[in-house]
Structure 1
Amino acid sequence: MMYDSTAPLLLTPVDKEAPSRVRRLRRLGIGLRPELAFDAFADRLAEITGAPYSMVNFIDENRQFFAGLHTPDALGGGSELTSAAAGDTAYRYMARDHGYCPHVIVRRKALVLEDVCDYPRFAGNPVVDEIGIRSYLGAPLIDRTGIALGTICVVDVEPRPWGRAGLETIKAMAAELIEQIHRREDGGI
């Protein structure tokens, strides 16, 4: 099967909420730099799901920023995601048209892709060829104002049967992180 890279199925969805999201993220003081709390959350998310990569991702009009990131210690810097874990903040950024989190933001619903190659809309995404991503599980971070601030997600370079349990886990973890963000905003953290 051949994929036409200009086909509408492969386009990243229009995100009309992006300007409001950026203003909200700035008010909260998040999404511009890596944070130990978000890295710790990503580590815990990876441990709970058994995924080699996990992220706390905030998205603006043009790019995604991994404020929290977990990558396997065993990898020696061969991928963009692994380089990000080494502390180079430049590698914590990804173009908005790469990956699946922008779809989750616009859909405002969790997304389960056990094998991205099974979905023509997602199989042609640059992360498949450039990074080797084969499975994805992500959920939106919708705050008390109703704005989808970003996502949490886990990915693997192998197909993964996330199933119903994976979906429930990612949704519960997203709710937990939003509560942490709200406590932080309220001065509790």
Structure 2
Amino acid sequence: MSYDPPRPAGRLLLTPEDKEAPARADRLRRLGLGERTEPALDAFADGLAELTAAPYAMVNFIDENRQFFAGLHLPAIDPFVKGDGTAPEFGRTLPRDHGFCPHVVVRRKALVLEDVCDYPRFAGNPVVDEFGIRSYLGAPLIDRTGMVLGTICVIDVAPRPWGRPGLETIKSAAAGLVARLERREADGLPVL
């Protein structure tokens, strides 16, 4: 008889299981998304940040192991300084157990967190301490096949009253980006 100690209630247990990840990764490969930065998606993220007045915006494609920000908007001056006096370094990838986009993908619907610290499930996420994230607004990118390709999101280092206007804005922007991706695919053009 073997003994398996109980697993701690760490972040791995808080990240939802994503049964569609292999099929999504295959669809993303066929579309040519999720492996390289896309200037058009960076421009989309810039516009989303401007529209919502958020310091950070992303177009995020998620596979079995990681998140990839094919579109990314960062502020000119980072608004968060860690306890050691340094600013965090945002890259183009994150593990699946970081952030809130994996929840949006599995839930298949938008997520509004005006203050992540109000939700114990989300307050313990590594991005809260590592990047100072305090608010999140994200929506899934659901294509014509019903596959959730990823998300678009905006985040801030301060609580934000996104409310219904924020929810409608992010959902509308997600629908617009999906329509744009599908038009390009239907025309036989590279997706972006």
TM-score of the aligned structures, taking structure 2 as reference length: 0.88
Larger helix proportion, structure 1 or 2? 1
5 Å matches for 1:16-165? 16-75=19-78, 78-81=87-90, 91-165=91-165
Residue aligned with 1:174, SS? helix
The CA deviation string for residues 60-82 of structure 1, in whole angstroms up to 9 with x for no partner, is: 0111000000010123992222x
Quote how far apart the aligned CAs of 1:116 are.
0.1
Quote how far apart the aligned CAs of 1:145 are.
0.6
Residues of 2 paired with 1:132 and 1:140: CA distance?
A: 23
Q: Given residue 175 of structure 1, which amino acid in structure 2 is its aligned partner?
A: A
The number of aligned residues is: 177
Quote how far apart the aligned CAs of 1:184 are.
1.5
- The RMSD of aligned alpha carbons is 1.9
Residues of 1 paired with 2:9 and 2:157: CA distance?
A: 25
Quote how far apart the aligned CAs of 1:6 are.
1.2
User: 1:7 and 1:69, CA in 2 relative to 1: closer, same or farther beyond 3 A?
Assistant: closer
User: 1:5 and 1:113, CA in 2 relative to 1: closer, same or farther beyond 3 A?
Assistant: farther
Of 177-186 and 71-80, the range deviating more from structure 2: 71-80
The CA deviation string for residues 89-119 of structure 1, in whole angstroms up to 9 with x for no partner, is: xx20000000000000000000000000000
Name structure 1 gaps, 5 residues minimum.
82-90
User: 1:38 and 1:103, CA in 2 relative to 1: closer, same or farther beyond 3 A?
Assistant: same
Does the 8 Å contact 1:10/1:121 carry over to 2?
no
Say which of 15, 25, 35 aligns to 2:18: 15
Residues of 2 paired with 1:135 and 1:117: CA distance?
A: 9
Quote how far apart the aligned CAs of 1:136 are.
0.1
Q: Quick check: which has more Rg, 1 or 2? A: 2
Residue aligned with 2:183, SS? helix
User: 1:29 and 1:114, CA in 2 relative to 1: closer, same or farther beyond 3 A?
Assistant: same
Residues of 2 paired with 1:142 and 1:172: CA distance?
A: 12
TM-score of the aligned structures, taking structure 1 as reference length: 0.89
The CA deviation string for residues 155-175 of structure 1, in whole angstroms up to 9 with x for no partner, is: 000000000000000000000
Moved beyond 3 Å, runs of 4+: 7-10
Q: Given residue 21 of structure 2, which amino acid in structure 1 is its aligned partner?
A: A
